[in-house]
Amino acid sequence: MTAGEKENPSGRTEKLIYETGMEVILNQQQIQGILQTMADRIASDLDQGTVVAVVGIRSRGEVLAERLANMLESRLGHALPCGTLDITLYRDDLNDPQGRMPPAFQGTEIPFDVSGKTILLVDDVLDTGRSVRAAMDALIDLGRPKAIRLAVLVDRGRHEYPIQADYTGHKLQIPEGKTIAVHLAETDNKDQVIVQ
């Protein structure tokens, strides 16, 4: 093994490109473990009779929401309604000339009434809090949830808006200028969180 390679717990050799500063923060097992622990905590926090639905923010949050919903289903013994929120129309930089170009609008797909339900809002990364602000506004336009709880895989913690997660998988402090990329098997062929 050369200096540029490091063995990860899966036993496979992971080539890390130190020169370009890319680093794998979480691998497939770690992501799976984090989600299982998170599902345990969510399930134990829920009061009897609470009506829960899981809503993911496009696009990686959508995948994580589906996984969490499946994990919660086995713990709670019943299926949970699951939906996807497209926050493009609610972004605070949509009409900001300095804003980055938003991803293509694909629409919200929430095939149930959110009113009166406890919504578990799921995203891959909590950073500035701006996406979550947009997501809450988008959600509230669909109805009046009983409560909204936030679950994120990674918290980068810049928190420009006063928004904190209720369930955080992994806290990460990285220098300004670096970005976190969450890759998931369903969308990127492989589970991993990298900093680059």
Partner 1 sequence: MARLHDETFRWWRKHLLGLRDLSRQEIETILDTAEGFEEFSTRSVKKAPALRGKVVVNMFFEDSTRTRNSFTLAANRLSADVIEFTKTSSSVSKGETLIDTARNLEAMGIDIVVIRHNAGGAPKLLSRNINACIVNAGDGFNEHPTQALLDTYTIRQVKGSLEGLKVGIVGDITHSRVARSNIWAMTKLGAEVTLIGPPTLMPAKVNELPVKVSYSLDSVIENLDVINMLRIQFERLGGNPFPSIREYSHFFGLTVERMRKARPDMLVMHPGPINRGLEIESEVADGPNSVILRQVANGLAVRMAVLFLVNQAAMEEQKYRV
Which residues of the chain form contacts with partner 1 (CB under 8 A)?
A: 86, 88-90, 94-95, 97-99, 101-109, 115, 137-138, 140-144
| Rounded CA separation 2/14 (Å) | 11
Q: 């680093």: which residue's tokens?
A: 23
Dihedral in degrees, nearest 10, Cα atoms 43, 48, 49, 50 = -40
Strand partners, 125: 154
What distance in Å separates the CA atoms of residue 44 and residue 41, rounded to the nearest whole number?
Answer: 5
Q: Which residue, 129 or 169, has its beta carbon nearer to partner 1?
A: 129
- SS3 assignment, position 24: strand
Q: Minimal distance in Å, beta carbon 104 to partner 1?
A: 7
Instruction: Count CB-CB contacts under 10 A for residue 87.
Output: 25
Q: What does DSSP say about strands 13-15 and 5-7: parallel, antiparallel, or unpaired? A: antiparallel
Q: In the complex, what is the shortest distance from the CB of residue 2 to partner 1, in angstroms, rounded to a whole number? A: 34
For partner 1, give the closer residue by CB, 23 or 109.
109
Quote the least distance from Cβ 22 to partner 1, whole Å: 21
Which residue number, 106 or 179, has a Cβ lying nearer to partner 1? Answer: 106
Complex with partner 1: residue 32 or 118, whichever CB lies closer = 118
Q: Closest separation between CB of residue 196 and partner 1, Å? A: 19
CB closer to partner 1 out of 49 and 97 = 97
Nearest CA to 68 among 37, 43, 30, 39?
39
Report in angstroms how near the CB of residue 97 gets to partner 1 at its nearest.
5
